[in-house]
Amino acid sequence: MRVLSTLQVRAVDGDTIRVGGERIRLRGIDTPEMHEPAGPAAKQRLEELLRRGSIRIVPHGRDVYHRLIADVFVNGENVAEVLQREGFSKAG
């Protein structure tokens, strides 16, 4: 588990962040890709959530692309769950 400054964290798309050189995939959500209609909005919303406060990352292994799979919390709230509630999860 790591607690990070918001200055160290950047959204890559709606379900992936970058912390330094590490790509971290949010566990439990698949948002539209950047070339899909809702992709840029999902990324923008993730960026807004990341700026809200202290970030805590709880790792759960790696995916086939060697990204860290993790639960990401901002001020104690699971970011993937917020994005799902707000309708940014892909259907399917």
Residue 7 has pLDDT above 70, yes or no: no
> How many angstroms separate the CA atoms of 80 and 70, rounded?
10
Instruction: List active site positions.
Output: 25, 33, 67
Provide the domain count of the chain: 1
Q: What is the pLDDT of residue 5?
A: 53
- C-alpha 72 chain-centroid distance: 7
Q: What is the pLDDT of residue 20?
A: 84
Q: What is the pLDDT of residue 77?
A: 96
What CATH number is associated with residue 34?
2.40.50.90
Give 19-73 pLDDT, tens digit per residue: 988 999 999 999 999 999 999 999 999 999 999 988 999 999 999 989 999 999 9
Asked if residue 90 belongs to a domain, the reply is no
Structural domain boundaries enclosing 78? 2-85
Asked if residue 91 belongs to a domain, the reply is no
Give me the residue label for tokens 């993937």: 80
Q: Which two tokens mark 21? A: 């050189």
Asked if residue 41 belongs to a domain, the reply is yes
Q: What is the pLDDT of residue 1?
A: 57
User: pTM of this prediction?
Assistant: 0.88
